[in-house]
Amino acid sequence: MTDVGPDERDRARRANRRDESADSREAADDARERQLDVRERVLERWEAEIAARAAQLDLLDPEEEEHRARARVQRAEAREQRRNEAEARRDAAIERDIQRAQRPAPTDRQHPAPEMAEEAFESLTGSLLANPAVDDALRTILRTAVATVPDCAAASVALAASGRLEPAGSTSPWAAELDVAQLAAGCGPLPMAAEGGVVTTDDLATDARWPSFSDRAAANAARGAMSFGLLVYGTNAGVLTLYTDVGARFGAAARRHGDLLATLTAMAMGRTFERLTHEAQAEAWQHALASRDTIGQAKGILMEQGAASAEEAFDVLREASQRLNTKLRDLAEHLVTHRRLPDA
């Protein structure tokens, strides 16, 4: 490989910082776009429900409905524009990744300047506050680790899924291979950290704690690693792992930076869990409302067919549900569809 001078390495460092800032801004833009899409879908659903109700009551204003239709067209055009902009951002991100891989290693990667680390962490925190998708958050965290943690040559993350750890992202192919090898062997700092806490080693290939991993790690002799268990709501949800260059060792500063990054990673995963839980709760609530509406329709049909009151109609449904060993909601759906209760 052709040697490069300090000026070229310094230019590479500055270019990497610009790229990382661009990555953070684009991740925030993508998060805002997703939030706007959700709001628009909710708005359009409400408009449709209001219009349907107004039509039932013969209160539909054609002029107002035409105005809403034009607004829907404008929102659709704006969504298409956002899709095109998002595609352009993804293309730009791919181009930045290619350029990063072609640059020489910055001189200050092993010992980043304090102001560089502070700026990178501020950018990372701002990006995470935008509540990006978990894969975007993890990608930003891993890049920040390589840019700010002293002696960090690569970073990776593995997430717990169905009772086992699965690789979820890495900044380097060789780091991803080391993750896979550790998980296959069932030993090494990564699997050990999954049990909780922080596990460090100065040499993956010679650490006496994992003799069965030595052969797999022979190609990475004198390479250190530091793995952080990720605790989310009291559960070990994954592992963040940092790797050194061959011959380098992690010091106290690297441990402090790694602790902070692990905390931010767990925070990002926790926020994603909260969002998914909220979405699941909302879906369940919508399902409950739909079930209640179906049961109401079924009661109305029974009242038309001879039940004297809503209470008596509900008693008929409940008795049929017990007799046929069928859920009340399923029974109501059958009645609404077929205008009669199922045969015994």
Q: Which residues, in sequence order, are CB contacts of 183 under 8 Å at separation 6+?
A: 158, 165, 166, 167, 190, 191
Write the single-letter amino acid at 89: R
Q: Which of 107, 123, 146 is the last residue of a domain?
A: 107
Rounded CA-CA distance 274/190 in Å is 26
pLDDT for the residue numbered 246: 82
pLDDT at 107: 46
Of the residues 71, 87, 107, which one is the last residue of a structural domain? 107
The rounded distance, in Å, linking the Cα atoms of 25 and 19 is 10
pLDDT value of position 241: 96
Per-residue model confidence (pLDDT) at position 263: 83
In a domain, 223, yes or no: no
* Domain-embedded: residue 260: no
Those residues whose C-beta lies under 8 Å from the C-beta of residue 43, and which sit 6 or more positions away, are: none
Inside any domain, residue 213? no
Decide if 25 is inside a domain.
yes
For the segment 83-105, what is each residue's pLDDT rounded down to a tens digit? 888 778 777 776 776 676 666 65
pLDDT for the residue numbered 335: 83
**In a domain? residue 71:** yes
Tens of pLDDT, residue by residue over 183-212, are: 988 999 999 999 878 999 998 888 888 887
Token digits of residue 328: 């009340």
Token pair in block for residue 127? 């990006």
Local confidence pLDDT in tens for the 344 residues of the chain:
445 555 676 677 677 667 766 766 666 676 667 667 766 776 777 777 777 776 776 666 777 778 878 888 888 888 888 888 877 877 777 677 667 666 665 544 445 544 444 555 555 555 555 555 667 778 888 888 888 888 899 999 898 877 788 888 888 888 888 999 899 889 999 999 998 789 999 988 888 888 877 766 666 667 899 999 988 877 788 899 999 988 888 988 889 888 888 888 887 777 666 554 544 455 545 555 555 667 778 888 888 877 667 778 888 888 888 888 887 778 888 888 888 888 75
Terminal CA-to-CA distance of the chain, rounded, Å?
82
CA dihedral 193, 195, 198, 201 (to 10 degrees): -40
Contacts of 74 (CB under 8 A, 6+ apart): none
> Domain limits at 59?
1-107
Q: Which of 107, 133, 156 is the last residue of a domain?
A: 107
Tell me the pTM: 0.49
**What local confidence, expressed as pLDDT, does residue 344 receive?**
59
| Domain at 309, CATH number | 1.10.10
252-304 and 134-148 are packed helices; what angle lies between their axes, rounded to 10 degrees? 170
Q: In what order do the strands lie in the sheet with 164-170?
A: 164-170, 152-161, 235-246, 223-232, 198-201
286-319 as b/e: b if 16+ CB within 10 A: eeeeebeebbeebbebbeeeebeeeeebbebbee
- Looking at the 3D structure of the chain, how many domains does it have? 2
DSSP 238-256: EEEEEEEEET----HHHHH
29 domain-assigned: yes
Q: Is residue 61 part of a domain?
A: yes
Domain contains 66: yes
pLDDT for 109: 47
Residue-level pLDDT at 130: 54
